[in-house]
Chains A and B, each alone.
Chain A
Amino acid sequence: MKLEAMFLLFLGAFFGLVGLVYWFWSYEDGGTMMLAGTAALGFLPGSYYYFWHRRMGKRVEDRDDASIEEGAGVIESFPSTSIWPFVLGMGAFLTVLSLVFGIWLIFLGIPLILSALTGVTAESRRGGHV
C-alpha cells in the first residue's frame, strides 16, 4: 500500500507546486483553483492510503517474495448477476431525457432509480440475485 500512497502523494505535491508557480506567475484564479483541486485529489486519498499502510504493513501483493498460497482464504465478496445496474442505468437515461423532452419522463425515470437503489441494497444485504 505504500507505493500506492506515495504515488498519489506525489501527484498532490506535483500539482501543489505547479499551482503555486501558476498562481504567482499569472494571478489567475480559475486555473489555480483547478490545480489546487487536483492537488487535493492526490493528497486526500494518498494520506488515507498512507495511514492504512502504517496500520497494515505490507500485504501479500506488496511483497515480492509472496507465494500464491499466502493469499489463501476469502479474497472478496463478489455480487452474483444483478438486474439492478441495468434498471438504474435506464432510470438515469430516462431522467436526463426528461430534461430535454418533458418532465413527464421523470415519472418513469425516478421510480426506476428508486427501485434500483432499493433493490441493490436489499440484494447486498440478502446476497440474492436476479
Chain B
Amino acid sequence: MTDVIAPPSPVIETEAPELHLPPESGGHDHTPHGHDHGGHEAHGPSGILKWLTSTDHKVIGLSYMITSIVMFYLAGIMALLIRLQLTSPHSSLLTFGQYNELFTMHGSLMLYLFAGPFAFGGLANFIVPLQIGAPDMAFPRLNALSYWLYLGGSITMLMGFLVAGGAASFGWVAYAPLSSATSSPGAGGDLWIMALALTGFSAIFTGVNLVGTIFYLRAPGMTMFRMPIFTWNMLVTGILILIAFPVLTAALIMLFADRHFGTHIYTAVGCHLVSGATTASCGSPLLWQNLFWFFGHPEVYILALPFFGIVTEVLPVFSRKPVFGYKGMVFATMGIAALSTGVWAHHMFTTGAVLLPFFSFLSLLIAVPTGIKFFNWIGTMWRGQLKFNTPMLFCIGFLFAFLMGGVTGIMLAAPPIDFATHDTYFVVAHFHQVLFGTAVFAGFAGLYYWYPKMFGRMLRDSLGKWHFWLMFIGFWVTFMPQYVVGLLGMPRRVASYPSDLGWQSYNIVSTVGAFIIAASFAVLLANFVISWRNPIPAGNNPWDAHTLEWFTTSPPPHHNYTHLPPIRSERPTWDYNHPDDLTVPHGKDAHPKAKVTSA
C-alpha cells in the first residue's frame, strides 16, 4: 500500500485558528480519518446562522451554485416567453416594452448571474482548493463577501421588474446612447447598472482569491504542471477576470454619471464645433462599445475556459486514460485567453471605426489553440475504455455544440460575413451554441460529475441520460433554425416581424425546441428531488477518478483533508489507487516513476 503522508489536519480552535501540518506521516490508512471533520465550525453556529457566517469555501461554493441555478431557471422562463412571442408574426402575448425587458434580463441573468458565477463562484470555489490540496481559499472572508455581493447584485437586478417603468430594456450590452437617461429613463436601468457593479466587484474579489489560492496554497509536490487542467483553467480565468471586470465596473460608473450627474461621456450632446471639428471634450457612444467589449470578449472566455476545464477533467476519467497532451492543453488555454483580450472590436466591425484586419486576424487566430483543445479531447478518448455515464454524455454533447458554435464564430470573424449577418438571428444562434455548449452542456457535466463529491450521494444516471438526450435534441431543434432565419434576414431583438417572409415556420420549430429543453430541466429537478429523498451513497471516488479531490471523503471534511497521498503526477489519486499503472510523467517537471513509493 502506498504510503499516505501527513494530512493538513484542521485544528479545533475557538480563536486565532491556524492550520498545521503534522511533522510526520499521519498513518498508512487509505481512508482519511473520520475524527474531527467539523473543525472549528463543528462548534460554531448551525442552520441559517451557519450559512450567513460560514467562510468555508465549500459552503460558499454551494451557495453560489444554488443561487446561480435559480437564476438559470428564471432566465430560462424568460426565454420561453420570448420564444412564445415569436411563434406568430404579430403576437400580442407581450408588449414591445415587455419583450425588450425580457430579452435584456434573459441575457443579463444568463451571462452575469448564471454562467460566470456558476463556474468561478460555484464549481471553482468548491473544487479548486480540493484539487490542489488546500484547506480553503486564500482569503475566506473575502470569499464570503464575494457571495453576498453577488446575491445583492442578483436581487438588485431582479428588482427591476418591480419598479415603475419596468426592468432594463436596452439589451445585455447596454449600448450608448440607448442606455442614456433620455432613451431609457426609469429606475430599471439604474438597478441594472448597480447590479452589475456589485457582481463586478464580487467577480474581481473571486478572481483575486482564485489566483492567490493557486499561487500560494498548493500542497507539497503539487507543482504548476501537476495541477489538474480545471485548476489551470480557473487560474487563467481568474487573471482574465482581473483584466476584464475592472474595465466594466469603471464603464458602468461613467454610464451612471451620464444618466444622473450631467456628464456626457458616452453621448455627443453638448459637443461644440470648433473650426469644423468637434472638440476634444466631446463624448462618444463608441467609447462605451470599446470599454464594454474590452470586458465583453474576455468575458466570453471567462465563461468558456472553466467549462473547457470541466470537459478536460471528465473525458479522461470516463475514457480511463490520462489527458492527452497535458501541456498542450495548458498552453492552448493561455493562448486562447491572451488572444481573447485583443479581439474586443470584432463586435464592432459594422461601426466602421475599427481596424478590421487587426481584429479579424487575431479573432481567426483563436481557432488555433481551440483546435488544439479539440484535437486533445479527441486524443484523450481515442482508444480509451469509454464509459457513457451522464457526465460523459454531456461532455460529448458539448463537443458537438461548441464545434458548431466555434465554426460559425470563425465565419463571423471575417468582416464580409459579419457585415452581412450582423444583428441577425445568425449571430443569436452562434453565441447561443457557444455559450449553451459551454455553460450548459459542460456546466451540467460538471454538476453530475462532482455532485457525489459535494453531497456524498449520486444523482440517478438514468434520469441524467433522459436529461441529456432531451436537452441535446432540444438544443439542435432550437438553434439550427435560427441560423437559417438569420441568413434569411430576420433581425435580432424584434418582437414582431412581417408575415410574408417565410420566417414563421423556423420560429415555430425553434420554440418547440426551447420547450424540449425546458422539459429536460424538469427532469433535472426531478433527479434532484429523487436523489435527495432516496439517496444512493457515493463513496469517496465513485468514478475511479484521477485528481486529488477524489481522495478525500464525500462530502469533504472542514479544511478538506486529514491525509494526502504523495503527489507525483497530475493524477495523484489514480496513482495511489493503481500503483501498478502509474501515470507516465511528462517533461522535465516529472518525477521518475521509480521514486513513487508503494508498499
Contacts and interface: CB of A to CB of B under 8 A. Distances in A.
Interface size class of A (residues with CB under 8 A): 35 or more
B403 to A, nearest CB: 27
Given A78-B19, A80-B13, A100-B194, A86 B144 contact: yes
Contacts of A10: 334
Interface stretch (B52-60, B487-495, B500-508): B52-60
B124 interface: no
Nearest to A22: B358
A120 B141 contact: yes
A99 B54 CA distance: 30
Contacts of B198: 92-93, 96
A99 B141 contact: no
A82 interface: yes
Given A3-B224, A79-B140, A11 B239 contact: yes
A126 B149 CA distance: 26
If over half of A's interface residues share one DSSP class (helix, strand or loop), that class is named, otherwise mixed; here it is helix
Contacts of B50: 81
B215 interface: yes
B552 interface: no
Contact of B6 (A15, A72, A78): A72
Interface string A16-49: 0010011001101011001100100100000001
B191 interface: yes
B44 A88 contact: no
Given A35-B342, A81-B55, A84-B141, A66 B221 contact: yes
B127 to A, nearest CB: 18
A84 B5 CA distance: 36
Contacts of A130: 44-45, 49, 53
Interface residues of B, number: 88
Contacts of B18: 74-78
A102 to B, nearest CB: 11
A41 B242 contact: yes
A61 B224 CA distance: 8
A49 B345 CA distance: 32
Interface of A: 1, 3-4, 7-8, 10-11, 14-15, 18, 21-22, 25-26, 28, 30-31, 34-35, 38, 41, 49, 60-86, 88-90, 92-93, 96-97, 99-101, 120, 126-130
27 contacts: A22-B355, A22-B358, A26-B355, A31-B345, A34-B290, A61-B218, A64-B223, A68-B566, A72-B23, A73-B23, A74-B19, A75-B8, A75-B18, A76-B135, A78-B18, A79-B55, A80-B40, A80-B41, A81-B41, A83-B52, A83-B53, A85-B147, A90-B152, A92-B152, A97-B194, A127-B15, A130-B49
